[in-house]
Amino acid sequence: MRTPIRKFAAILALVLATNIGVVSAASMEKIRHLFLLASAGDIRLQKKAKIAQKKLGKCGEDAVPFLISQLKRKNIRKVLTAERALRAIGEDAVPYLIMALADTNKTVASLSARILGQIGDKRALPALMVAARYGFPGLRASACYALGNFQDSAVVSV
């Protein structure tokens, strides 16, 4: 027979397990607002844009899927803002960026390879090596550039 505390602990564990990777609506709204400010081109908002860019980089893993989706944009300012924020997030973004290497959007895949090289996390090496050999030409070039940033003898065979 389970005590009420054990029942509560089991329910709480189940709730926590199902909410892993879920971003709250309030958090998502904050991320969108920071991104909008950070990518603002208005000279009067330049100071606020810099502050928003730093805060966006500190949002961590919660912001990564949204930022990767922004790499598809036609507006170069938004693409560059997303790229800077992903670099600032660093290692937390690596698993998502590795998955983005297989994106059907060639720009997203190429930029993901470049960002992975700039972050420099060794977990990305196998995926970048595959992309350098078998990807489309733009992805191969970006993956080779990224692999060059690692300065690891294991990538010489590529």
pLDDT tens by residue, 60-76: 999 999 999 999 999 99
Give the pLDDT of residue 13. Answer: 45
- Is the pLDDT confidence value at 3 over 60? no
Mean pLDDT value across residues 93-102: 94
Alpha-carbon distance 29 to 25, whole Å? 6
Give the pLDDT of residue 25. Answer: 81
Give the pLDDT of residue 158. Answer: 59
- Is the pLDDT confidence value at 11 over 70? no
Collapsed DSSP state (helix, strand, coil) of residue 15: helix
CATH of 25-153, picked from 1.10.3720.10, 1.25.10.10, 1.10.645.10, 3.40.50.720, is: 1.25.10.10
Note if the pTM is more than 0.85: no
